[in-house]
Homo-oligomer: A and B are copies of this chain.
Amino acid sequence: MGLNFDTTKPIYEQIIDYIKKMIVRGELKPGDKLPSQRELARKIEVNPNTIQRAYREMEILELVETRRGMGTFVKEDESMVITMKIEMAREAVSRFLEEMNSLGYTEEEIVKFINNELVNIKKDKEN
């Protein structure tokens, strides 16, 4: 049946996603300092090593850079932010299209459906 029961995402990946979203939304701008590993660990009640791993992976991906004794900073690379935003949006779209396909919707139906929903949401907001 192709079922895959263990769907947990590692915590460090969830942290990466969260920080990437903050960057993409502009809540963390190029050059901004991330919270210190220890501080963040305390705040979200996670082992400091988990934060360490998340920051390390983001450094490998060149999203952030660590300056010894200074902390971890968002890279000064505006184009990276833009690329990342598009890439993450593409992934969201692709997951969404896959899911709608798995429900048996064709591309045309998907467009109709989402337009309908947006109209509904607008109406809701007006009231």
Contact = CB atoms under 8 A, between A and B. Distances in A.
Interface of A: 1, 3, 5-9, 11, 14-15, 18, 21, 24-26, 40, 43-44, 46, 57, 60-61, 85, 88-90, 92-97, 99-100, 102-105, 107, 110-111, 113-115, 117-118, 121-122
Majority secondary structure, A binding face: helix
Given A21-B102, A60-B57, A61-B60, A43 B1 contact: yes
Given A21-B102, A25-B103, A96-B96, 8 more contacts: A25-B104, A26-B104, A85-B103, A89-B100, A89-B113, A92-B96, A93-B114, A110-B114
Nearest to A118: B107
Give the interface centre of A14, A92, A100, A107 by most chain B CB atoms within 10 Å.
Answer: A92
17 contacts: A1-B40, A1-B43, A1-B44, A3-B15, A3-B18, A3-B44, A5-B11, A6-B8, A7-B8, A21-B103, A24-B104, A25-B102, A57-B60, A89-B113, A90-B117, A92-B99, A96-B96
